[in-house]
Amino acid sequence: MKLPNLRMRSFLSSAIDFLYPPCCVSCSGIVDQSADVLCLECAGALPLISAPYCPRCGAPDIENSHLCTLVNPGRNFHLARSAAVFDEQVQKLIHRLKYQRRRHIGTYFGEKLGKMIEKDEQVAHISWLVPVPLHRTRLRERGYNQSDFVTQGISTITKLPIQTGILERTRNTRSQTKLSQDERAVNMRDVFRVTDRAAVKNQRIGLVDDVMTTGSTFDSCAGALLEAGAEKVFALAIARA
Ligand SMILES: [Zn+2]
Ligand SMILES: [Zn+2]
């Protein structure tokens, strides 16, 4: 079948919008413009992080005697940035991104992250972005990797290139939700493998995931990348718990 031309496509998308008005992915209310992911009210209520934030872990509101969790020795990534704080609304959105095929939630937050790191001198000269990979079994079940869409959103804003397939998840780890910080670190040990060491050598890598809780997933990924010769790894997440 021949693809409809631009005018036809624009007519079709207006007709679809008329029949099925686009809804806010958070409250199901009507959105302002068909390209919007959230209605104005939900977008306004998002706990987005803006400067000033902690230069190492990206935590907001650092004036209240902030104890940085990234000063611990043994962290493999250089610094971390998140677009938002992990509150109930963000948790619901990330759940929809991962389990209800709402992939544009990933690109939405990715674009927020892109705008944030573009203005951030500490996150300079990234060679390329790498989404944290899912294990092939999980990828088959879900059909997509949510971090790919976050990465695409960052790239749309920053124009940074994306590399997929240079990092592989060798074990299908159990869910981290109910694990303590130490248990998470053990659960994530030796989970990732670099498949193309030459490509990684001396590169500054922006590693992208959905949520950063204790940072053990980022740490494990970054460990594999550094071991393969990467210069620096920046941890980039939709939200920090
Ligand atoms: Zn809404
Ligand atoms: Zn900090």
Between the two ends of the chain, the Cα-to-Cα distance in Å is 47
Separation between Cα atoms, residue 113 and residue 239, nearest integer Å: 10
Spacing, Cα 228 to ligand 1 middle (Å): 44
Spacing, Cα 38 to ligand 2 middle (Å): 29
Measured CA to CA in angstroms, residue 176 lies from 15, 104, 136, 207, 224 at distances of 44, 24, 18, 19, 20
Spacing, Cα 240 to ligand 2 middle (Å): 11
**Tokens standing for residue 121:** 């001198």
Supply the pLDDT for residue 43: 93
Spacing, Cα 111 to ligand 2 middle (Å): 23
Q: Which ligand is nearest to the CA of 25?
A: 1
Reported pTM = 0.87
Measured CA to CA in angstroms, residue 216 lies from 20, 62, 99, 176, 186 at distances of 42, 22, 22, 10, 9
Alpha helices by DSSP H, the chain: 6-19, 40-45, 88-99, 104-118, 136-142, 146-158, 181-187, 197-200, 216-227
Q: Which ligand is nearest to the CA of 39?
A: 1
Residue environment code for 38-62, b if the CB has 16+ CB neighbours within 10 A, otherwise e? bbeebbeebebbeeebbbbbbbbeb
Q: Which ligand is nearest to the CA of 29?
A: 1
Q: Which ligand is nearest to the CA of 71?
A: 2
Instruction: Write down all domains in the chain, each with its CATH number in brackets.
Output: 1-45 (no CATH), 47-240 (3.40.50.2020)
Spacing, Cα 95 to ligand 2 middle (Å): 26
Residue identified by tokens 């694990």 is 179
Spacing, Cα 82 to ligand 2 middle (Å): 12
Supply the pLDDT for residue 16: 58
104-118 and 88-99 are packed helices; what angle lies between their axes, rounded to 10 degrees? Answer: 120
Separation between Cα atoms, residue 32 and residue 220, nearest integer Å: 41
Separation between Cα atoms, residue 140 and residue 137, nearest integer Å: 5
Supply the pLDDT for residue 9: 66
Q: Which ligand is nearest to the CA of 65?
A: 2
List the chain residues with pLDDT less than 70.
Answer: 1-6, 9-10, 12-21, 64, 71-73
3-state secondary structure of 5: coil
Residue 114 near residue 129 (C-beta atoms within 8 A): no
Supply the pLDDT for residue 32: 81
Supply the pLDDT for residue 19: 60
